[in-house]
């Protein structure tokens, strides 16, 4: 999430009650989580395991609970006891929850020729392009951007909060939700089936590329990037911060894990599981997903195990 205007790191330190060390003239442009952080951003870290990764990231300002770390040249650190709580305070300050009690918010912008059917909810600052069709009971939540000639079938939810939690076992609620301040971008000519859910980015963008088609009951996790002209069959589930390149086909009930990449024009056959990145221009099957030809030969040998075992025992 970018701030409306850059703010001084010293001002940010005052907001969250932190001690500033390092570059005290730094101007901070936004806040991001570690998977999406870029130059000018502030990012938080509260576990020694990730100190080094965070300090070496593209982020210029780091909220941290250890003041003894070596500060990279040009960066600033904001030292406080609870970096996660500091993150929540920054999000609440720059993007507080703003309810809209109207079915179509006054701040929404809807393009010429677009049809919004009865029962659809359009949130604050939503932008919908030209000649799109939003079917009944669709929910498009705050700040989402929908392109031209997009079709969204009934019951789909665009822009729900990320399934993203900070875990601490020394507090009554072990799992505390990391507030989402990102949004969703649906590019032109996308078709989305009924009952789909597309989570907003935690701090950045979940993006569906132009010409992509989603069947019913597809879930897209936070900060995922879907390329152009992809096709996902029913009950596909994709975890957060994943990259699906152009032309990928995922058949029914394929499950894709987080922070991986599926290469251009790959095909993953039904009920397969993808725990790690896959090269493009190949067909995959099974769990863990492997090239379909190899997996099928493996299954043939698995079926022959009883026969082989009997021969050995005889």
Q: Give catalytic residues, as residue numbers.
A: 222
| Cβ-proximal residues to 183 (8 Å cutoff; 6+ apart), any chain | 142, 143, 144, 145, 159, 200, 201, 205, 206
Q: Find the radius of gyration of the CA atoms of the chain.
A: 23
For residue 114, whether the previous peptide bond is cis, meaning omega lies within 30 degrees of 0, is no
What is the 3-state composition of the chain as percent helix, strand, coil, each rounded to the nearest 5? 15, 30, 55
- Asked if 250 contacts 268 with a C-beta cutoff of 8 angstroms, the reply is yes
Distance CA 91, CA 76 (A): 19
| Cβ-proximal residues to 84 (8 Å cutoff; 6+ apart), any chain | 44, 46, 166, 176, 178
3-state DSSP call for residue 109?
A: strand
- Asked if 140 contacts 122 with a C-beta cutoff of 8 angstroms, the reply is yes
Supply the DSSP symbol for 69: S
Distance CA 314, CA 312 (A): 5
């Amino acid at each position: 999430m970018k701030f409306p205007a850059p703010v001084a790191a010293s001002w940010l330190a005052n907001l969250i009650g932190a001690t500033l060390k390092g570059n005290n003239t730094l101007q901070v442009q936004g806040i991001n989580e570690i998977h999406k952080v870029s130059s000018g951003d502030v990012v938080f870290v509260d576990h020694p395991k990730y100190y080094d990764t965070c300090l070496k990231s593209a982020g210029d300002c780091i909220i941290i609970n250890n003041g003894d770390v070596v500060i990279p040249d040009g960066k600033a650190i904001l030292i406080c006891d609870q970096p996660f709580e500091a993150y929540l305070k920054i999000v609440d300050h720059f993007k507080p929850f703003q309810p809209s009690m109207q079915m179509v918010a006054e701040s929404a912008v809807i393009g010429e020729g677009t049809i919004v059917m009865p029962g659809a909810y359009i949130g604050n600052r939503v932008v919908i392009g030209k000649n799109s069709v939003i079917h009944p009971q669709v929910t498009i939540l705050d700040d989402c951007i929908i392109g031209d000639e997009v079709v969204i079938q009934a019951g789909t939810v665009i822009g729900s909060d990320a399934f993203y939690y900070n875990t601490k076992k020394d507090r009554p609620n072990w799992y505390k939700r990391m507030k989402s301040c990102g949004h969703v971008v649906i590019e032109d000519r996308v078709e989305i089936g009924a009952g789909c859910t597309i989570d907003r980015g935690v701090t950045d963008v979940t993006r569906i590329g132009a010409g992509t088609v989603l069947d019913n009951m597809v879930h897209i996790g936070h900060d995922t990037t879907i390329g152009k002209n992809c096709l996902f069959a029913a009950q596909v589930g994709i975890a957060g911060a994943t990259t699906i390149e152009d032309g990928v086909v995922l058949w029914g009930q394929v499950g894709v894990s987080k922070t991986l990449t599926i290469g251009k024009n790959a095909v993953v056959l039904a009920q397969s599981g993808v725990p790690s990145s896959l090269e493009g221009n190949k067909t995959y099957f099974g769990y863990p997903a492997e090239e379909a030809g190899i997996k099928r030969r493996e299954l043939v040998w698995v079926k022959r195990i009883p026969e082989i075992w009997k021969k050995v025992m005889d």
